[in-house]
């Protein structure tokens, strides 16, 4: 419970920041009660606004429900989570009355409360006492090594999947399916040029993610095929998801990464960790320094306002997760190697990563079509730091030791 307080606090602060940005122009309205009532239910709610409201408080409901005291379980935890989420939303909406740039609406409170309720129900449904939660934990014990370090690796894998599928809203409308296939169709017919940078980035990330799976599974032989099915399913699901598209670059990168994984997954664990970490870093550097595909030669100055570009629409959440997961994965791959002086190593490498990411973002001022942003530096620090605080590197979380012990137990059950 205590370990979940840090991500919960960070997420609450992010909600408050995004809801009250830019924090300027505060004034006392003439009739603030009327302002709220006039905004009870807008005549038209765009699909983007609806999705944004539902997605914003969904993680809050999940984290808050998991962070509540253990004696609160079942419907009591769901009820308390919903009440607290509703109070937070209502408080923010009241504060927005005093900001001329923001519009208060009771409909936002309703949607945020529903989103919090859904997140709380998900947390309850995945609990140990439910049928679904028990089944998921049984599969977790059957397929993966135990310990919080494994949880970090699986979290990095889940964050990558979310970065590809947010806003998680599928639509089987024919026009939406055509839109999801449009980049693939245009590239195959020569209307657009194949982007080699994007294909290489996908290949390197797929290789790294496959390496993470190889480090956390119990049976090392069950890596390539299940992971290939998982990665392929994630990319194919982009077709029906609103606002997402599948490209020839993604497909080529998937096959390239899987081919590399077939050759490299048999490496000794420390070398596999180094290869996976190198692949993530290489993909990140290429992504940072490549020119924008649709640029017209324009250059942009460095943005010092955190998350200003990510608050434009719901795809900003995908951008946040996309920049967060590589550093969560890097933290996992470093922790797997069990550094002797954990605090010193984590601090020094974290500072090095922060400086390196800042230098890459600063260099984007000279790359056409790129938007250098301090948000990337903050997300890199968060993605790197949280795993180091979450995991306890005791012997029970030593993945190589666990793997060796399980092999001995299989061959010598009497030991």
Helix (H) / strand (E) element for 236: namely helix 224-237
DSSP letter (8 states) at residue 338:
-
Q: CB 364: neighbour CB atoms within 10 A?
A: 22
- What pLDDT score was predicted for residue 188? 93
Cβ count within 10 A of residue 24: 9
Contact 385, 323 (CB under 8 A): no
For residue 412, pLDDT beyond 50: no
For residue 407, what pLDDT is reported?
45
Q: Among positive and negative, which fits the CA dihedral 166, 167, 170, 174?
A: negative
Cβ-based neighbours of 56, under 8 Å, separated by 6 or more: 15, 18, 112, 115, 317
Q: What is the pLDDT of residues 131-172, one digit of tens each?
A: 777 788 888 888 899 888 999 999 999 999 999 998 888 888
Cβ within 8 Å of residue 4, ≥6 positions away: 63, 66, 67
Q: Would you kindly state where each structural domain of the chain is located, as residue ranges?
A: 2-137, 144-288+305-408
Q: How is residue 302 annotated by DSSP?
A: P
State residue 41's pLDDT score.
55
CA angle 133, 112, 316 (to 5 degrees): 90
Q: Map tokens 């006492």 to a residue.
A: 129
Spatial distance between the Cα atoms of 401 and 331, rounded to a whole number of angstroms: 19
**Listed range (24-33, 61-70, 205-214, 311-320) with the worst mean pLDDT:** 24-33
Phi, psi of 30 (to 5 degrees): -70, -40
Position 30 scores a pLDDT of 65
Top-ranked range on mean pLDDT: pick from 62-71, 321-330, 405-414: 321-330
Residue 268 tokens, joined = 């000794």
Phi, psi of 364 (to 5 degrees): -65, -15
> Cis ω on the peptide bond leading into residue 22 (within 30° of 0)?
yes
Higher-pLDDT residue of 358 and 314 is 358
Look at residues 301, 326, 337 and name the one whose alpha carbon lies nearest to residue 381.
Answer: 326
Asked if residue 405 has pLDDT above 50, the reply is no
Other C-beta atoms closer than 10 Å to the C-beta of 281 total: 16
CB 242 within 8 A of CB 178: no
Instruction: Report the distance separating Cα 15 and Cα 322, nearest Å.
Output: 18
Going from the C-alpha of 180 to that of each of 101, 174, 213, 241, the distances in angstroms are: 34, 10, 28, 8
Task: Report the alpha-carbon distance of residue 313 to residue 305 in Å, rounded.
Answer: 16
Looking at residue 223, what DSSP letter applies? S
Confidence label for 247 from pLDDT (cuts 50, 70 and 90) = very high
Q: What percent of the chain has pLDDT over 90?
A: 43
Please state, rounded to an integer, the average pLDDT across all residues of the chain: 84
What sign does the CA torsion over 347, 348, 351, 356 have? negative
Distances from the Cα of 300 to the Cαs of 46, 102, 332, 370, in angstroms?
Answer: 30, 27, 34, 7
| Buried b or exposed e, range 366-389, using 16+ CB within 10 angstroms | ebebbbbbbbbbbbbbbbbbbbbe
- Report how far apart, in Å, the C-alpha atoms of 288 and of each of 158, 284, 292, 358 are: 22, 6, 10, 11
DSSP SS3 for 303? strand
pLDDT of residue 227: 94
């Amino acid at each position: 419970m205590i370990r979940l307080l840090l991500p919960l606090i960070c997420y609450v602060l992010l909600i408050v920041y995004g809801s009250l940005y830019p924090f300027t122009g505060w004034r006392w309205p003439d009739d603030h009660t009327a302002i709220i009532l006039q905004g009870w239910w807008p005549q038209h709610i765009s699909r983007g606004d609806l999705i944004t409201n539902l997605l914003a408080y969904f993680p809050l409901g999940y984290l808050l429900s998991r962070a509540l005291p253990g004696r609160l379980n079942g419907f009591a935890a769901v009820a308390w989570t919903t009440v607290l989420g509703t109070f937070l939303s209502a408080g923010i909406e009241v504060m927005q009355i005093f900001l001329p740039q923001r519009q208060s609406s009771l409909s936002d409170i309703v949607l945020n409360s529903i989103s919090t309720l859904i997140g709380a129900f998900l947390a309850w449904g995945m609990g140990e006492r439910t049928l679904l939660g028990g089944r998921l934990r049984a599969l977790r014990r059957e397929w993966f090594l135990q310990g919080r370090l494994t949880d970090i690796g699986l979290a990095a894998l889940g964050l990558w999947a979310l970065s590809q599928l947010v806003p998680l809203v599928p639509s089987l409308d024919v026009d939406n399916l055509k839109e999801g296939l449009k980049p693939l169709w245009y590239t195959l017919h020569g209307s657009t040029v194949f982007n080699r940078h994007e294909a290489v980035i996908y290949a390197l990330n797929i290789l790294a993610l496959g390496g993470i799976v190889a480090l956390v599974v119990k049976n090392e032989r069950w890596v390539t095929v299940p992971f290939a099915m998982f990665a392929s399913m994630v990319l194919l699901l982009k077709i029906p998801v609103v606002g997402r598209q599948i490209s020839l670059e993604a497909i080529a990168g998937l096959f390239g990464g899987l081919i590399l994984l077939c050759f490299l997954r048999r490496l000794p664990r420390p070398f596999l960790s180094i290869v996976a970490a190198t692949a993530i870093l290489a993909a990140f550097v290429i992504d940072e320094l490549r020119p924008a595909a649709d640029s017209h030669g324009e250059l942009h100055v460095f943005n010092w306002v955190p998350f200003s570009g990510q608050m434009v629409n719901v795809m900003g959440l995908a951008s946040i997760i996309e920049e967060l997961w590589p550093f969560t994965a890097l933290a996992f791959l470093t922790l797997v190697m069990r550094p002797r002086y954990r605090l010193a190593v984590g601090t020094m490498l974290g500072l090095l990563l922060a400086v390196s990411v800042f230098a890459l973002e600063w260099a984007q001022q000279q790359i056409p079509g790129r938007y250098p942003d301090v948000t990337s530096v903050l997300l890199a620090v968060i993605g790197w730091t949280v795993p180091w605080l979450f995991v306890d590197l005791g012997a029970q979380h030593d993945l190589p030791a666990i793997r060796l012990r399980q092999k001995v137990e299989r061959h010598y059950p009497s030991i």
